[in-house]
Structure 1
């Protein structure tokens, strides 16, 4: 089982690394970071660089694709190499984290499907023919989309249960001790204190 995670400049690190960790722990699963050409790709904060060890051309038909989001999404949506690869790959599962769903939508892969994204850009999915859904993880056919950043771990566990079984996903969840118990309830615009959404937007745009 081969999972490909495409990297592009100014991706959000946890969007890629969260699913990478979950899926990489699973027996029989290989995860490869890919890009137009192998080499280093720097994240949105500028302090972390991941290495794409493969190229799109070298992995034309992975079993799973996980597209991360980040401030670089706008450029990624216009990247013809990434778009063409996404369309031609026809993996068993196509997935995204955060604004990575906009990359899928721009490639025409979410038309007529329910999907989610980061709350700040979720409604933009409608402009590509998708149905925006306010959920942490949305599965529609062979496509799974996740809400913002940390939801990528939830998405990867959901995907792993589909790829293997619930027990395997639960085993990985325990191995990485994923038992969220945040100190605040400010994780969504609905539960955050008034005015916090505006401040949060200044951090991600």
Structure 2
């Protein structure tokens, strides 16, 4: 295990996939390198010397359904979505309707499809986090029904941050290992989930990321499953993802214990709301 990522689990997941499918994805990617000068921003393409855009993965686009919902944390969505976009996935931002969804930053995200119109068979189902939005989703039968339906057939069921609780409320993580935001980790067992304090956790075809910045780690790890390690490394280089935080305070294990205690104390009311919503959702599942 390196940097909180279980590479043995990744290798096992890669081995379980179709070798032909992996070779097809990687082969098209490397073949497209010839004659290309730089990567176009925000798309799975590059442009040649004449400025023509060339899709690196024209015939191999994993379908991803990304739940978007009011009061989600935008970073939880943007990190994975950026990696999926560079790696040429077919991304669907899914909500009940197409009205813009407000995030915690007061910047809205426009869904691209609805629950009813989202592809039935997804390669990846994903839920981002955001504590207050997560509480609402755990109480929302329409959200949980959509996730349970698509998750029953998706090749990968995934989350970042408190999105793990939403997947738990939909009954999709029961009996699996998962990670989430550190200060709600204690609530995962309510849904029969084994909590793991790691950056990215893989258990069979479930993959979860920790706090919101773990979304990039998660996205690259999942990208390697579909595109191969070299393409995921290329994506990492394109993003210049080389974290070097100015302080050693990013986990409760590293941070000043007084700071950890103060943050927990300031969340008592909100965490009780999380627990109550989780217990109510678990009771419905039972």
TM-score, structure 1 as length reference: 0.94
Q: Which position in structure 2 is the counterpart of 1:64?
A: 124
Task: Confirm or deny that 1:130 pairs with 2:229.
Answer: no
Q: Which position in structure 2 is the counterpart of 1:192?
A: 255
Task: Confirm or deny that 1:53 pairs with 2:116.
Answer: no
Structure 2, unpaired ranges of 5+: 1-61, 271-286
**Count of aligned pairs:** 203
Of the candidates 31, 35, 46, which is equivalent to residue 95 of structure 2?
Answer: 35
Deviations 1:139-160 (A, max 9, x none): 0011101111000110111100
Q: Distance in 1 between matches of 2:112 and 2:232?
A: 26
Of the candidates 184, 199, 221, which is equivalent to residue 158 of structure 1?
Answer: 221
Q: Distance in 2 between matches of 1:203 and 1:3?
A: 33
TM-score, structure 2 as length reference: 0.68
Q: Distance in 1 between matches of 2:99 and 2:85?
A: 20
Displacement of 1:133: 0.6
Q: What secondary structure does 2:91 align onto?
A: strand
Q: What secondary structure does 2:257 align onto?
A: coil
Aligned CA RMSD, in angstroms, stands at 1.5
Matches within 5 A, 1:76-91: 76-89=137-150, 90-91=153-154
Displacement of 1:194: 2.6
Greater Rg over alpha carbons, structure = 2
Of the candidates 71, 80, 97, which is equivalent to residue 10 of structure 1?
Answer: 71
Structure 1, unpaired ranges of 5+: none
The structure with the largest helix share of the pair is: 2
Q: What secondary structure does 1:121 align onto?
A: helix
Q: What secondary structure does 1:187 align onto?
A: coil
Q: Check whether the contact 1:114–1:133 (CA below 8 A) recurs between aligned residues.
A: yes
Query: Which ranges of 4 or more aligned residues in structure 1 deviate by more than 3 Å?
Result: 198-205
* Alignment CA distance shift 1:31-1:203 (3 Å): farther
Q: Distance in 2 between matches of 1:203 and 1:52?
A: 30
